[in-house]
Amino acid sequence: MHTVFAALAALVGGIAISLQSLFSGVIGKQAGILGSVFIIHVGGLILSGLLLLLLRGGSLAGWRGVPWYALCAGFIGVVIVACVSYAVPRLGLATTLTLTIVAQLVLGTILDHFGLLGAIHRPLDVSRAVGMVVLFLGTWLIVR
């Protein structure tokens, strides 16, 4: 049952990424790339702050046990929003999302294969390698 909820969460996350990408491109055209980054992160700060208040801090104190490199996630979020805000109005939503998803899957495969940065070790096997080839072919068909 947990797997079903995790899969649904991943699908909802994918929908959210598509919508946020589109909206950040719209904001970026009007307010500039840095304006888009700022507006999106302030909105996220407000929502997460309200949720933390409602949950009375949740388990926020656990941040002390997080590896230092994981604390860079906020900085990486700025890079993500800036890149998407720039790319969507120039390449279109589908092309931008295709390229970002391919980059995620390739890096995810590398991190899994070597078990880097806390990733679960899952070696690259023949079926995953074939999947990557199909992924690249699909990317070429979408982006061309």
Which tens digit of pLDDT belongs to each residue from 85-134? 999 999 999 999 999 999 999 999 999 999 999 899 999 999 999 999 99
pTM for this one? 0.81
Residue carrying structure tokens 């994981």: 70
Tokens of 106: 């390739």
Angle between helices 93-114 and 2-54 (to 10 degrees): 100
Kindly list the domain boundaries of the chain, sorted by start residue: 18-91, 93-144
> Residue 60 pLDDT > 90, yes or no?
no
> Residue 1 pLDDT > 80, yes or no?
no
Instruction: Yes or no: say if 139 and 99 are a contact pair by the CB < 8 Å rule.
Output: yes
> Residue 23 pLDDT > 90, yes or no?
yes
